[in-house]
Chain A
Amino acid sequence: DVKVTQSSRYLVKRTGEKVFLECVQDMDHENMFWYRQDPGLGLRLIYFSYDVKMKEKGDIPEGYSVSREKKERFSLILESASTNQTSMYLCASSLWGRGQFFGPGTRLTVL
């Protein structure tokens, strides 16, 4: 089975802090994705990556950046966390033309 792991299940940070969310997949998938999930809004794509060192903006990239130095790892960075970035963050990976496999999520609270 595909396994996608995220570094933390719950995270509490303060406004202005730099925040790193890590995601690792173990099935050699080319594609990796970061979403945020908010009640009533569903899942919204922040960034995705087709290959190492490649990144593409999703629907809501403002306030976020990403890094993919190795194929199995995709990091989401909040340069200066704000309270409106309090959310559930979900990482996913996939092969071309296949469904995405999701990690368990990180619930981030910014105080």
Chain B
Amino acid sequence: AQSVTQLGSHVSVSEGALVLLRCNYSSSVPPYLFWYVQYPNQGLQLLLKYTSAATLVKGINGFEAEFKKSETSFHLTKPSAHMSDAAEYFCAVSGRNSGYSTLTFGKGTMLLVSP
């Protein structure tokens, strides 16, 4: 079985500040890990993914995440927040037992960016 925990249902930052969204996973097999973003009234858009290559993964819109096996974490960061980053972010895990096809999602973190 696999699961994802996102710490903090809401995170507030000021424009220009560091963004850090936390994700911890549980998986009995080497996982694939994903971050998605959802803007209001839209579907989810893939930000980045870890699939057992480089542990530091760069994604779209200046986001990156680092896979840390010892900490079972895959935190999402961005050096400088923009107003346009305000959205809900979902971490997800996929495992070999599902052929790396099905995803288990965290409950999401709403990022609020103030001027």
Contacts and interface: CB of A to CB of B under 8 A. Distances in A.
B76 to A, nearest CB: 15
A97 B102 contact: no
A45 interface: yes
Interface in B18-77: 32, 34, 36, 41-46, 49, 51
A107 B43 CA distance: 11
Nearest to B9: A40
B84 interface: no
A97 B107 CA distance: 22
A96 B99 contact: yes
A96 B107 contact: no
A35 B60 CA distance: 24
Given A41-B107, A99-B46, 8 more contacts: A4-B43, A58-B102, A97-B32, A97-B99, A98-B49, A99-B34, A104-B42, A105-B41
Interface of A: 4, 31, 33, 40-43, 45, 48, 50, 58, 90, 92, 94, 96-105, 107
